[in-house]
A = this chain, B = another copy of it.
Amino acid sequence: MDLVGDLDSYERRDWDDGTVDDTLRMAVIGLGWFGHDMALPSIRTADYAEPTVVVSGSPDVREETAAEYGATAIDYDGYEAGVATDDYDAVYVATPNALHPSHVETAAGLGKHVICEKPLAATVEGAERAVAACEDAGVRLMTAYRLQTDPRIRRVRELVRDGVVGEPRLLHGNFSFRMLADGGDPDQWRLDADLAGGGALPDIGVYPLNTSRFIVDREPTAVSAETCGEGAFADVDRLATLLVSFGDVTGSFTADFDAQADDELTVVGDEGRIRIENAFEPREQRRIGVRRGEHSATIDPAPVDDLREEFDYFAHAVLTDGEIEPDGRDGLSDVRTMVAAYDAAEEGRRVELDG
């Protein structure tokens, strides 16, 4: 059995049918750190997407950003009122989690397709509203799970599907970093339980959870959990630990806002093991270690801008009416599991899920 395979496969866009020679014009809703610093540069360099509108509550930020990108600047009132709708075909929602549903509903009402940052919402009801709005309006909705469109992670799923680990048995994943070290802002919305829907779990814990579902092709059937937080993290989960059953596979996932930077996912099967190091951070050099019996191989794939891949995947799907695997219902599933995890932690019991 080949543990590594064709190197090209680690950067291949297996979803690209080569028919698109157009670009999707995108409005970026929310110019915080992620929208402005991380997403916009990738949308600009994308093959099938371009940023044509930027939406922010800050006049300075939106005007400067609009000038930099040759885009149209509007504020949230303008976005909701349908200003400049001729200038964009789709929106990218990068606002605080609790605001996602209304920003998605606005887009749906305007007939615009949507890619919405994870988690899809801060509550199950919010995520359901977002899904329903897009389905009712007949617009596409993608949850921005860039791991699912990262060719290196897609390659890992392929290895699992090809039987490299045999039958998957168990998963271990962690995503941690020190949010407030080196001048991190203790007043940011990610530490506001209402705006974020929680703490480390929805912000970073959703990565090992969603990526595991993607890689082992299974849905959660039950969750147990523990959470804790103190000091600047008193209102949220600084640390969340989840024990997730996926039928015949169990996953152990941790996320911590105040721990050594670390992001890994390991799947152990009856015949092999795959570990992704540097698994979740954007634009990171992922390392993929594969073991099968006493053989092992490590691959350091060529660098990939996983944000650009994500926006190109979304734009390509919209322009070709193709499949969007990380759709709204995919995002809704994780919101359900995370809310169930909080219930499990609070009530000290296993919470069953639909699977």
Is A138 on the interface with B (CB-CB < 8 A)?
no
Is A284 on the interface with B (CB-CB < 8 A)?
no
Distance between A180 CB and nearest chain B CB, rounded to angstroms: 10
| Cα distance A24–B222 in the bound complex, in angstroms | 52
A226 / chain B contacts, CB cutoff of 8 Å: 222, 224, 243, 245, 250, 350
| Cα distance A291–B277 in the bound complex, in angstroms | 13
A273 / chain B contacts, CB cutoff of 8 Å: 260, 262
Is A234 on the interface with B (CB-CB < 8 A)?
no
Q: Is the CB of B258 within 8 A of A250?
A: no
A260 / chain B contacts, CB cutoff of 8 Å: 165-166, 268-273, 291-293
Most B CB contacts (10 A, CB to CB) among A176, A260, A268 go to A260
Which of B176, B222, B252 is the one whose CB lies under 8 Å from A254? B252
Which of B248, B252, B258, B271 is the one whose CB lies under 8 Å from A241? B252
Total chain A interface residues with beta-carbon distance under 8 A: 42
- Residue in chain B with minimal CB distance to A273: B260
Q: Is the CB of A270 within 8 A of B241?
A: no
Is A114 on the interface with B (CB-CB < 8 A)?
no
| Cα distance A273–B166 in the bound complex, in angstroms | 30
Q: Which of chain A's residues 115-139 have a Cβ closer than 8 Å to chain B? A: none
| Cα distance A241–B256 in the bound complex, in angstroms | 20
Which of B169, B228, B254, B292 is the one whose CB lies under 8 Å from A239? B169
Which residues of A are at the interface with B, using a C-beta cutoff of 8 A?
165-166, 169-170, 172, 174, 176, 178, 222, 224-226, 228, 239, 241-243, 245, 248, 250, 252-254, 256, 258-262, 266, 268-273, 291-293, 348-350
10 pairs of residues in contact across A and B, judged by CB atoms under 8 Å: A166-B260, A169-B239, A169-B259, A170-B239, A174-B266, A226-B350, A228-B250, A252-B253, A260-B270, A260-B292
Given contacts A224-B243, A259-B270, 9 further A-B contacts (CB under 8 A): A169-B256, A170-B176, A170-B239, A172-B174, A224-B350, A243-B252, A260-B292, A262-B291, A349-B350
